[in-house]
Amino acid sequence: MWMNLFNPSDTDEVAKKILQKGEIVVLTGAGISTESGIPDFRSPDGIWSRYDFTEYATIDALLKNPVKVFGFFKEFIDPLKTASPNKAHYAVARLEEAGIVKAVITQNIDNLHQKAGSKNVVELHGNATVARCMGCRKLYPLKELESEKYGFPPVCPDCRKLIKPDVILFGEMLPEDALKSAYQYSMGTKLMLVIGTSGTVAPASALPHLAKRSGADIVEINLEPTIITKSVTDYFLQGKAGEIMNELAGKILG
């Protein structure tokens, strides 16, 4: 059942369905954070319109020219430091606090779900607000790396290996624990709420299909129809994530 061009009344049936299903799983992509001022990487004004990801966002590029790649890191991470959650992030957190949302699986690296109050967040692509040594795997607060004692690019004082933002670059494996959790939550839920993802980036793109095959209903919130819409979506709410989620949470929580 598609519900295009969002009208507040469209959320009535979806709210009832969520309440019937009990705990749900939320899958989010870049589209949930655009209302927080973070451009979608693949949008016309996104970072890939200005940078060739093969030169700046692969593990091979980092190892070949860390100075060049760290300059790129600074440009795309700096805006994340001051970004604030929007109504969609807060609505998801409120639903989790109420016991409606069991887990949030996100492709985003901006930490905004946690800032909004979500506790059980599965980060498929890492978190740009912290950094990790590529050798001993020690974690560092990103702000700490601005100290001159670590140098540029920053080097771990313990093992002398490079420290990089704790995000997954092209050519790296996704965190095994996060991927396992994402699959388990997707197969175990009776309803998956998909917000702001195009459904084109693997392996996250497989999760709605996995949930659907396991018997779940799929509710999708996006500005435009996606590859998911015609394949597995049961309820499509078209519009801004913040507006729709705020409306939906209000009807669920009363």
Mean pLDDT, residues 146-159: 86
Share of the chain above pLDDT 90, in %: 69
Residue 148 has pLDDT above 90, yes or no: no
Choose the final residue of a domain: 105, 140, 167: 167
pLDDT on residue 9: 60
Choose the final residue of a domain: 100, 135, 167: 167
Residue 163 sits in a domain whose CATH number is 3.30.1600.10
Residue 45: pLDDT band with limits 50, 70, 90? low
Domain that holds residue 191: 1-38+85-125+174-254
For residues 14 and 116, membership in a common domain is answered with yes
Give yes or no for a contact between 232 and 209, defined as CB atoms under 8 angstroms apart.
yes
First to last CA, the chain: 24
For residues 224 and 250, membership in a common domain is answered with yes
Which range has highest mean pLDDT (51-60, 61-70, 113-122, 197-206)?
113-122
Residue 71: pLDDT band with limits 50, 70, 90? confident
For residues 140 and 159, membership in a common domain is answered with yes
For residues 65 and 10, membership in a common domain is answered with no
Torsion of CA 51, 58, 140, 176, to 10 degrees: 130
In sequence order, what are the residues at sequence separation of 6 or more whose Cβ sits closer than 8 angstroms to the Cβ of residue 32? 86, 88, 89, 108, 112, 195, 196, 241
Share of the chain above pLDDT 70, in %: 92
Give yes or no for a contact between 104 and 96, defined as CB atoms under 8 angstroms apart.
yes
For residues 65 and 94, membership in a common domain is answered with no
Dump pLDDT digits (tens) for 168-224: 998 888 999 999 999 999 999 999 999 999 898 889 999 999 999 999 999 999 999
For residues 189 and 238, membership in a common domain is answered with yes
The count of residues in the chain is 254
For residues 189 and 105, membership in a common domain is answered with yes
Residue 4 has pLDDT above 50, yes or no: no
Instruction: Locate 228 and state its tokens.
Output: 């998911």
132: phi then psi, degrees, rounded to nearest 5: -140, 140
Tally of domains within the chain: 2
pLDDT on residue 143: 79
For residues 51 and 135, membership in a common domain is answered with yes
pLDDT on residue 47: 64
For residues 99 and 158, membership in a common domain is answered with no
pTM of the model: 0.90
For residues 74 and 139, membership in a common domain is answered with yes
Residue 5 has pLDDT above 50, yes or no: no
For residues 159 and 236, membership in a common domain is answered with no
Choose the final residue of a domain: 147, 167, 187: 167
Round to whole Å and give the CA distance between 220 and 235.
Answer: 6
Residue 153 has pLDDT above 80, yes or no: yes
Dump pLDDT digits (tens) for 13-40: 999 999 999 899 999 999 999 999 887 7
* Catalytic positions: 125
Mean pLDDT estimate for the chain? 89
Residue 200 sits in a domain whose CATH number is 3.40.50.1220
For residues 160 and 240, membership in a common domain is answered with no
